[in-house]
Structure 1
Amino acid sequence: MEARLDFFANPVAAKVSKYIFSAGKVVLDSALPATTQQLVALRVSQINGCGFCVDMHTKDAAHAGESSVRLNLVAAWREATVFTDAERAALELAEQGTRIADGGTGVTDEVWAHAAKHYDEDQLAALVSLVAMMNTVNRLNVIVRQPAGGYEPGKWG
């Protein structure tokens, strides 16, 4: 598949990307555990069908030392025994925050309270920001049909 638009080369899109990446750096530098960030980014991208981001976040997580077992089980995290309770809380919040248009009510009070048991306010702010930004980036990539498979870890960071 060929991209409809070279999003990273287009001057308007390049300006938008600059701000998205700046916001992403704030999350990366936050106290939200890097492993949680990787798992959430991957799960949101899986839900949205963003092959480019699934490719990127799977490779980046593996490059950072994440196990193939855990990466392979992210899509089935509810049935898997390899995730901590805190990671499960973050994944559930990410799923509900991503599936807003699927007839849900957004993030339920129960899911929020479960996440709040594991993460402080700064970490929750980073988690919510990560979910929102991943949804934004996924939609950009899906709309322009950004192809998957060619991402190399460390290429952009």
Structure 2
Amino acid sequence: MEARLNHLTNPLSAKLLKHLVSAGKIVLDSALPAATQQLVALRVSQINGCAVCVDMHTKDAAHAGETHTRLNLVTVWREATVFTEAERAALELAEQGTRIADAVGGVSDEVWANAAKHYDEDQLTALVFLVAFMNTVNRLNVITRQPAGDYQPGQFQAAHSAHH
């Protein structure tokens, strides 16, 4: 499968992505637990059918020590017993925040209040931005049919560090 656009070689796309990635790095460096970030990124990407991001976040999470059991069960987290109450709250907020067009009213007050029981204001801010960021990146990749499967854990961090 060949991509419709190459985001890395197109100058405009590369310039736009540079800004997106720097915003994403702020979320990565936030107080929102890294495991929660990976689970949310993976779940949003599954919902949106973004193969590149599912590939990346599955591999990065496994590389960071996440278990195969938890990664395999993200898609059915409601029935799975391997997630904490905080992770479940984040996953539910991520799902409702991703399915805005399908859910009248977007994220419900109940789902927000449940997330707020587990995360402070900065963590909630990071969670909201992460959901929005993943939805943006997923759409860029899905629209341009980016192929998946070749991602190596940390490959973009290495490239990002080389530029600084």
* TM-score tier after normalising by the smaller chain length: over 0.9
How many Å separate the matches in 2 of 1:23 and 1:88? 25
User: Counterpart in 2 of 1:59?
Assistant: 59
How many Å separate the matches in 2 of 1:104 and 1:5? 34
Q: CA deviation at 1:9?
A: 1.2
- After superposition, the C-alpha distances for 1:99-144 in whole angstroms (9 at most, x for unaligned) are 0011432100000000000000000000000000000000000011
Paired-residue identity, %: 78
Give yes or no for the alignment of 1:78 onto 2:82: no
- Residue identity matched to 2:95: E
TM-score (normalised: structure 1): 0.99
TM-score (normalised: structure 2): 0.95
User: Counterpart in 2 of 1:154?
Assistant: 154
- Residue identity matched to 2:121: E
Give yes or no for the alignment of 1:45 onto 2:48: no
Alignment of 1:86-101 (within 5 A): 86-101=86-101
Q: How many residues align?
A: 157
Q: RMSD of the TM alignment (CA)?
A: 0.6
- After superposition, the C-alpha distances for 1:38-71 in whole angstroms (9 at most, x for unaligned) are 0000000000000000000000000000000000
- After superposition, the C-alpha distances for 1:19-44 in whole angstroms (9 at most, x for unaligned) are 11000110010000000000000000
User: Counterpart in 2 of 1:16?
Assistant: 16
- After superposition, the C-alpha distances for 1:58-107 in whole angstroms (9 at most, x for unaligned) are 00000000000000000000000000000000000000000001143210
Q: Which runs of 4+ in 1 moved over 6 A?
A: none
